[in-house]
Structure 1
Amino acid sequence: MATALDGKPSPVLADPSAVRGKRGRRAYWHLYAAISPFYLLFLCFGLVPVGFSLYLSFHRWDGLGRMEWAGLSQYRYLLADSDFWSSIGNTVVIWALATFPMVFLAMVTAVMLNSAVRFKNVYRFAYFLPNVTSVVAVAIIFGSVFSTNFGLVNALLQAVGLDQVAWLNTPWGIKVAIATLMTWQWTGYNAIIFLAGLQTIPGELYEAARIDGAGPVATFFRVTLPLMRPVLLFVLVVSTVTGLQSFSEPQVLLQNTANESAFSGGPGHAGRTMVLYFFQQTFDNNDFGYGAAVAWGIFLVVALFSIVNWRLVQRRGEE
């Protein structure tokens, strides 16, 4: 520390680093103020509700009366709840029926868009349009398409000599209809993501593959697919998160197919997904405490599937 001639510390030169630090923080206060609304809104509408839902999951509450401490009884009941496990099974089957065809179609579409020369932007807009279309409106249209008596799908089946299928009244028909809707909705979005990844691959690699005598199929599996692995991982994780949280598709598609609540999932509860079951327990039964426990169970299932997908893709990349 600098001292004056009389041996006392100089007030001007005392701890200059601290002075610079204070001045630096004060100089950027307007930048912190500019970004503060996001963090305040995230705190109010993100972290606080999440924390409250965890607190609520340990209580019994109907939304109006007094909360009653329940401890871990909500989670013990959740583990033994056959309806919850049934909703997990429905969700996983619908997710599998939708995700794998969707990823395949999105990759094929992206490769075709990447090789197209004319009207690229028109094709991109056309494929991306389903993703920005209202899910409710699309579900109503798909309900007509899969109608038993007047649906387009059954009309096509009859045209080739096959029998009609009660798509929205049988367990597998319900799952296929929901998965088809989700595939149609997300294929274009993921095709755009794949297209962005394809356009980052240097053209010299394809030229070298052609010189080495590799055909289109070998080039795709030896050059394109390995370099697209990070993009594929992103698409799989996002598709897992969105697919396992499906709600609007089965709720709107099946709301008029059973004489039960709008969250029943159709005949036999074949379309009752995890989120649909959460809404049924929370808003139909007014059991907000158990609904919060179901929500945390859904979070663990989605996290588990996301980790498994990530590990599988990473392991194949290491091989």
Structure 2
Amino acid sequence: MSDTLAPVQPAQTTRPAWRVRLSRLDHKGSPYAFVAPFFIFFGIFGAFPLIYTFWVSLHDWPLLGEHAFTGLENYQNLLQDAQFWNAAKNTLGIFVVSTVPQFALALWLAVTLNRKFRAQTLFRVGVIIPNVTSVAAVTLIFSMIFAKSFGLVNWVLGGFGVTAIDWAAHTWSSWLAISLMVDWRWTGYNALIFLAAMQAIPKELYEAAAIDGASRTRQFWSVTLPLLRPTLIFTTITSIIGGVQLFTEPLLFAPGAGAIQGGTTRQFQTLTMYLIENGFTRFEFGYAGAVAAMIFLLVLIISLINIWLVRRLVGSD
């Protein structure tokens, strides 16, 4: 007879089959339940309006009367519309003039604010103040600053012998004035996003670069900028969306009866202003829907181009 005793096996409890199935359902279905609210709201307030707008663009859709299906006729007319191409030119021009210096200044601000100095928290909070200011108030103030007769800019230029400029009367001058409004409001916002991304970069990388003899400039180009690529892509896409949909600044820059036209010769009318003009001034909702669809397509194309450019400039995976 052996002196060793066999270990006692614990009693196995059998779980009911319905509890097993419920546990499996909870394990597999919980992730979908957690993300479902976002997709439900997106479907209601995002996807459905896009699809319905495209459906409207395929019709002759007046404010009153029957809605006649016209197929792609609105798009054919839109591609031959000189006012649409003028609005597209103004939109892209203001976007380029405002976004390029805005990103450069935001990166410089972020690098500066990332260093240790006195009252750095106060300065970090200060750069976001323009973004929380009412866009209508900002536009009205800048309109007075760029006024022809009593504006601050013309007063300063007059001190150097420059003749007063009618900033709202010319294409290049109106683009510049509107771009300065956009830059003043959004540069600090992008700078804080860049700053948050910079503070997430491990300090050991900078220490290793400094030991290898890399200057601050070389550290920025070789360490900071490549690691900021996801943040650059995010800010680029959001800037494209905001730039292509630019509306309030040019609308209030030269207020009046024909403000929606963007000046006497439509010199600073953007695509969104042209959309509103067709939809709520001319009440041609089908044509306005075609303009909205083209804006969506333009945002998509420019976003893809910018993502490709950012990857080429700061390196790829």
> Percent identical across equivalent pairs?
39
User: In structure 2, do the counterparts of structure 1 residues 63 and 108 end up closer, same or farther at CA, with 3 Å as the change threshold?
Assistant: same
Contact persistence 2:130–2:185 (CA under 8 A): yes
Superposition deviation, residue 186 in structure 1: 0.7
Aligned with residue 263 of structure 1, among 249, 260, 264: 260
Aligned with residue 283 of structure 1, among 236, 256, 280: 280
C-alpha separation in 2, matches of 1:13 and 1:123:
61
C-alpha separation in 2, matches of 1:254 and 1:187:
23
User: Which residue is equivalent to 1:214?
Assistant: 214
Q: Which runs of 5+ in 2 are unaligned?
A: 1-13
Q: Does 1:78 align with 2:75?
A: no
Aligned with residue 309 of structure 2, among 283, 287, 312: 312
Partner AA of 1:124 in structure 2: R
Contact persistence 1:250–1:265 (CA under 8 A): yes
Deviates more, 1:232-241 or 1:70-79: 232-241
Partner AA of 1:151 in structure 2: G
Superposition deviation, residue 202 in structure 1: 1.7
C-alpha separation in 2, matches of 1:204 and 1:27:
40
Partner AA of 2:78 in structure 1: L
Superposition deviation, residue 96 in structure 1: 0.5
**Is the partner of 2:269 in helix, strand or coil?**
coil
User: Which residue is equivalent to 2:8?
Assistant: none
User: In structure 2, do the counterparts of structure 1 residues 27 and 107 end up closer, same or farther at CA, with 3 Å as the change threshold?
Assistant: closer
Q: Does 1:106 align with 2:106?
A: yes
TM-score by length of 1: 0.87
User: Which residue is equivalent to 1:170?
Assistant: 170
C-alpha separation in 2, matches of 1:283 and 1:195:
41
C-alpha separation in 1, matches of 2:240 and 2:53:
23
User: In structure 2, do the counterparts of structure 1 residues 34 and 63 end up closer, same or farther at CA, with 3 Å as the change threshold?
Assistant: farther
Across the aligned residues of Structure 1 and Structure 2, the Cα RMSD in angstroms comes to 2.6
Q: Which runs of 5+ in 1 are unaligned?
A: 1-11
Deviations 1:57-90 (A, max 9, x none): 1111122322111111111111111111111111
Superposition deviation, residue 308 in structure 1: 0.2
Partner AA of 2:197 in structure 1: G
User: In structure 2, do the counterparts of structure 1 residues 71 and 205 end up closer, same or farther at CA, with 3 Å as the change threshold?
Assistant: same
Figure out how many residues of one structure are paired with residues of the other and give that number: 303
Superposition deviation, residue 253 in structure 1: 1.2
Partner AA of 2:180 in structure 1: T
TM-score by length of 2: 0.87
Deviations 1:230-271 (A, max 9, x none): 212222121111111101110111223xxx523101131111
Contact persistence 2:60–2:69 (CA under 8 A): yes
User: In structure 2, do the counterparts of structure 1 residues 231 and 27 end up closer, same or farther at CA, with 3 Å as the change threshold?
Assistant: closer
Q: Which runs of 4+ in 1 moved over 4 A?
A: 22-41
**Is the partner of 2:128 in helix, strand or coil?**
helix
Contact persistence 2:98–2:183 (CA under 8 A): yes
Superposition deviation, residue 26 in structure 1: 7.9
Contact persistence 1:60–1:289 (CA under 8 A): yes
